Amino acid sequence: RIRDPDYSLKEYFEDCVAALPELRLFFSFDGGGRSRTSSGHGAEKEYQRTFGALFCVYWLLRLEIDGKEGFCFGCGDQWEPLLEAVGGETEAKKRTDFLQHMDWPSMAQVVQTAVGDSIERIEAMIVLTGFHDIMKLAHFCPSVSSKHAPYRGYDADATINDHDIALAYVLEHYPDTLPSFRNLPPTMRDVLLFSQNKMHFNHGWFVQAEGPPQAMLSGFKEAAKGAAPADVAFYFFHWL
């Protein structure tokens, strides 16, 4: 129903809470009663950021309904998409300029290529967005088993403290750990593994110049050979 004009953001929020058990992990604690995150934000803040990302999925799938305004301005107290920017003058101007000057047809093309009208692919995008950042909670970071070592630079018994690599390790070697991932069709699990593990590409690092081009792009170039355009687009939709 995500593209149903009558399907509200509030209904979507409630459906995500009911359907994604991994969201409850943001409110868990380690053996010492602590909940530390690698980002420096509190676990509750990471939960809120995750829902911000889930809301973006909702809005990007509704660009021709109310998605552009929601993506740029957010929602009001009654869950309705705001029609104009609120807040400070500088921030409001940035949001308004984005709405007016963004290349929306190109963004819509990324979304269409990534998921099209496939319920399975849309479901997979929501699932990935729901659990993508749980490995920022330090007590969930896995240690590399000797039978998998070395794993992307981590030796046996080493704790994987990079949340992206930690998630890739769990998805690849312990897929039953995350119920939402386990319940996806095998083809969709493969798409998530491709986007999170096989591409070896961090778009955030790339656009912020946090690594040299050769190191950033060589893995992506290799992974993209023979890859389905929809699967590459899936990664970039998730990054959006």
pLDDT in tens, 119-130: 999 999 999 999
pLDDT in tens, 2-17: 999 999 999 999 999 9
CB environment 56-89: b (16+ within 10 A), e (fewer): bbbbbbbbebbbbbbbbbbbeeeeebeeebeeee
- What's the pLDDT at 105? 97
Burial grade of 169 (CB within 10 A; 0-12, 13-18, 19 or more): buried
* Residues in the chain with pLDDT values less than 70: 30-35, 38-40, 198-200
